[in-house]
Amino acid sequence: MRQPLYILSACSISPQHSYDAENFLNPVVTTDDGKLRITAPDYSKYISPVAIRRMSRMLKAGITAGMKSLEMGGVTTPDAIIIGTARGSVTDMETFLKDMINLQEEALNPTGFIQSTYNSVNGWLAMMTRSTCYNQTYVHRGFSLELCLFDAQLMLSESQDKKYILAGGFDELTDEYVIIRGRIGYYKEQKLNSLSLLSHNDTSGSVAGEGAHFFTLSNNPENAACAIHTVQMLLKPTSEAVQAAIADMLAQNELQKEDIDVIMCGMNGDSRSQFLVDPVVNDCHEHTTITTFKQLSGEYDTASGFGLWLVNYLFTQKRIPEEIVYKKGTSTRIKNVLLFNVTILGNVTLMLMTTPPARP
Amino acid sequence: MAERVVITATGIISALGTGKDTHISAIRNLRSGVNGVSLLKSVHAHEFLLGEIKKSNDDLAVIMGLPTGDNGYTRTTLLCLAAMNDLLQNTDITLLQNEPFAFINANTVGGMSKMEDIYMDVLTVGADERNNKYINTLDCAESTENVAAHYGLKPIMATISTACSSSSNSLILGARMIKQGLVKRAVCGGGDALSRFTLNGFYSLKNVDKMPCKPFDQNRGGLNLGEASGFCLLESESSAKARGANIIAVLSGYANTNDAYHPTAPSPTGEGARRTMQQALDMAGLKTTDIGYINAHGTATQNNDLSEGLAIQTLFGTNAPHFSSTKPYTGHTLAAAGVIEAIFSMWAMEERIVIPNLNFETQMEELSIKPVSGLLENVTIDHVLSNSFGFGGSNVSLIFSKA
């Protein structure tokens, strides 16, 4: 699909100070315990005090990131709400599951059951924006957010009308989640500071993270900082398949390797996926600056949402913060950016982004 | 004009059995699959009736030629495999091997049916390592990726979860991808296995009837849960015709809207459901009088049936077409409900029957319309409408038309 998705606004609730982006990386938030938890903003702007007490943490984060993204994009009622989450509100699932086990299935409070439903953030955002239009939830592991963008591209290809879509992703970190996924090698066993994650790519696993990232998308380029042109999802690819997909993507968009100013690289410090990362990093053109983000976000299924937010941030700020530079290139502009993400399961997603309005 | 999307094959497993013949026979013989519990290990098992598939995980594994015991497959995945296996009985698998296709799956709780048994163990230091292979099965995508891998297929994959409308949304996504020319074919549907988690969830919401459910009845007392999986092969009309495929139906209209009203309850006036059905009719270019049968969502909960009944009455008038809920046959199969009821709707058109709304006795006070309570044969149906509504205000209507 060639339909550009113009990003009108982006809002991220992450471990970093991304919600109030003027304080981004000031200071850099790090952890030594392997768990990068979100820096929670004041939720009372969009959520009533009663609801704040009742809602679980990721519902609040998802709703707030979604509402703020719309507000920043100047959209009151979107034409679609499309959300990706690999595991929804994990806290609610755990609460209901453990109550069920411990109370032997008697006298259970349904709140956890209701809120753990994967489309509950979708429902809340529809209610709060009075959006009775298209509403969809993708729950496909590390492709969850990318499927939202794919759907948004599909939707904008279906109509010539100006449309405004709220798309986003969220996933949650809990102590139990880390214990359970830790059993199958998701996280590093050694103690390290999260900021040094990527220099420990000789051992398996990553640092756990969480976040909620929402984007107001449109086929109308007015006021957009950048556009997503192509979204690719590769299931357990070989390194050659990744290289071929990148080459295809560049060719489709009539770009050469040297035209890529920035590769936003979602390397996660996991030795098992380094074979997918190395060729991308090593074979890039000298113009290209490689930046990284998982040392700031931690690893989770929709972490590419933080990467996408960060690319949008580069386009809006027109500069690259030193803290995220992995390899400095000679290009001084930010025009064409490749977002390259790798997941723990060895899946890869790619997005080609440029400055609006037209393709270069 | 975009190309029409047709359905050329179906695959299904539910409490009524596997495949079309078994289902049609049960439907015609008014045989419900909602019975006492024999497999789900719940303290409430003796209190409830469920649309349980009376095949153990080992039985299902044997059918699929998989090892029995701890084979790493959850019941959710096994049900999806069984439905896909049924679809492939009538479909040349090379159609899915030689050209790009989409595989759109849906479920509500992934492999919870297994995870709820091992959760406390996998949290414990020194836990049984044999359970490690199930840790990622709580991901909804697990069954999607496992089904594709089992058949060695490499489709464009997506997994959807919009509660009880999930697999209806699968069909919509597949149809949209075909219309945009991204793929010629898409296998779309979903599956959910019964779990204590879900049973207790609906029980804690006081939404479960301990007796056989009575959709659209004044004295309805809630739903019976069930389990099922179903898939449809969607195809562009030109590619179906080019290969001389039997076209079961045309997916002529669909709509996905949101109530924007309440996290778990539909709008009491049925405004959201009415809007969804209207949009699907608009897409299909049909009038309300063109619809010959409505397969209602009809969960038999107080809220749904009032809201949906009013929506049908408002849109179609007091002279509404034949309508029924087939959930008394299968139980409410959650993420699978959309696709299996879409399949029932197409079969109704093919077999020229209206499937009865079992257990209906008493007219609802708020409505002047009532569901079809006995099997109707030799009914000409050119267009059917199938509704699926879920938590989060998620509404989907699908319209199938004769080829």
Pick the residue from chain A with its C-alpha nearest to B115.
Answer: A97
Q: Name the DSSP class of A252.
A: H
Separation in Å, CA of B394 to nearest CA in chain A = 7
pLDDT tens string, chain A, 360 residues long: the values are: 789 999 999 999 999 999 998 999 999 999 999 999 999 999 999 999 999 999 999 999 999 999 999 999 999 999 999 999 999 999 999 999 999 999 999 999 999 999 999 999 999 999 999 999 999 999 999 999 999 999 999 999 999 999 999 999 999 999 999 999 999 999 999 999 999 999 999 999 999 999 999 999 999 999 999 999 999 999 999 999 999 999 999 999 999 999 999 999 999 999 999 999 999 999 999 999 999 999 999 999 999 999 999 999 999 999 999 999 999 999 999 999 999 999 999 999 999 999 986 544
Question: Cβ–Cβ of A183/B177 closer than 8 Å?
Answer: no
Question: Token match 């897409």: residue?
Answer: B283
Cα distance between residue B60 and residue B78, in whole Å: 6
Considering only residues 321 to 360 of chain B, which have any Cβ-Cβ distance to chain A shorter than 8 Å? none
Instruction: Report DSSP state, residue B374.
Output: S
**Paired residues of B401 in beta bridges:** B250, B383
Tokens of A232: 């690719």
Tell whether B114 is within 8 A of chain A (Cβ): no
Share of chain B residues as helix, strand and coil, in percent rounded to the nearest 5: 40, 20, 40
Q: What tokens appear for A48 in the block?
A: 């009533």
pLDDT (0 to 100) of residue A249: 97
Cβ neighbours of B159 in A, within 8 Å: 138-140
Tell whether B282 lies on the interface with A, counting CB pairs under 8 A: no
Contacts of A100 in chain B (CB under 8 A): 116, 196-197, 200
Q: Which of residues 10-69 of A touch B (CB under 8 A)?
A: none
pLDDT per residue over B27-86, tens digit each? 999 999 999 999 999 999 999 999 999 999 999 999 999 999 999 999 999 999 999 999
Give the β-pairing of A226-234 and A5-13: antiparallel
**Residues B163-200: pLDDT tens digits?**
999 999 999 999 999 999 999 999 999 999 999 999 99
* Residue type at A353 in one-letter notation: M
Largest Cα separation within chain A, whole Å, is: 65
Residues A276, A235: Cα–Cα separation, whole Å: 12
Torsion of CA B238, A135, B397, B366, to 10 degrees: -170
Q: Is B390 on the interface with A (CB under 8 A)?
A: yes
pLDDT at position B128 is 86
Residues of B serving a catalytic function are 164, 297, 332
* Residues 313-352 in A contacting B (C-alpha not used; CB under 8 Å): 345
Give me the CATH code for the B253-401 domain, please.
3.40.47.10
Quick check: A103 contacting B, CB < 8 Å? no
**Chain B window 5-44: which residues touch A at a Cβ cutoff of 8 Å?**
42-44
For residue B123, the chain A residues in CB contact (below 8 A) are: 176, 179-180
Integer Cα distance of B275 and B280 in angstroms:
9
Q: Could you tell me if B149 lies within 8 Å of chain A, comparing CB atoms?
A: no
* Cα B286 from chain centre: 24
ipTM for the whole complex: 0.98
- For B128, nearest residue in chain A (alpha carbons): A183
**Do A109 and B392 lie within an 8 Å CB cutoff?**
no
Region A226-354: CATH code: 3.40.47.10
Backbone phi, then psi, for B385, in 5-degree steps?
A: -120, 135
Domains B5-242 and B253-401 are alike in CATH topology: yes
Given B135, B201, B394, which is nearest A110 (Cβ)?
B201
Which residues make beta-bridge pairs with B254? B398
Distance from the B257 Cα atom to the nearest Cα atom in chain A, whole angstroms = 5
Please report, for chain B, the start and end positions of each structural domain, with discontinuous segments joined by +.
5-242, 253-401
Is the Cβ of B219 closer than 8 Å to some Cβ of chain A?
no
Nearest to A101 among B120, B157, B161 (CB): B120
Interface touch B44/A181, C-beta < 8 Å: no
Indicate the pTM of the whole model. Answer: 0.98
Check residue A91 and give left, alpha or beta (phi > 0: left; psi -120 to 50: alpha).
Answer: alpha
Measured distance CA(A301)–CA(A304) in Å, rounded? 8
* Coil/strand/helix, residue B312: helix
Domain A5-218 has CATH 3.40.47.10: yes
Query: Do residues A238 and A312 make contact, with C-beta atoms less than 8 angstroms apart?
Result: no
- Decide if A169 contacts A67 (C-beta within 8 A): no
CATH topology (fold) of B5-242? Peroxisomal Thiolase; Chain A, domain 1 (3.40.47)
* B247 in A contact zone (CB under 8 Å): no
Domain ranges of chain A: 5-218, 226-354
| Amino acid code (one letter) for B184 | K
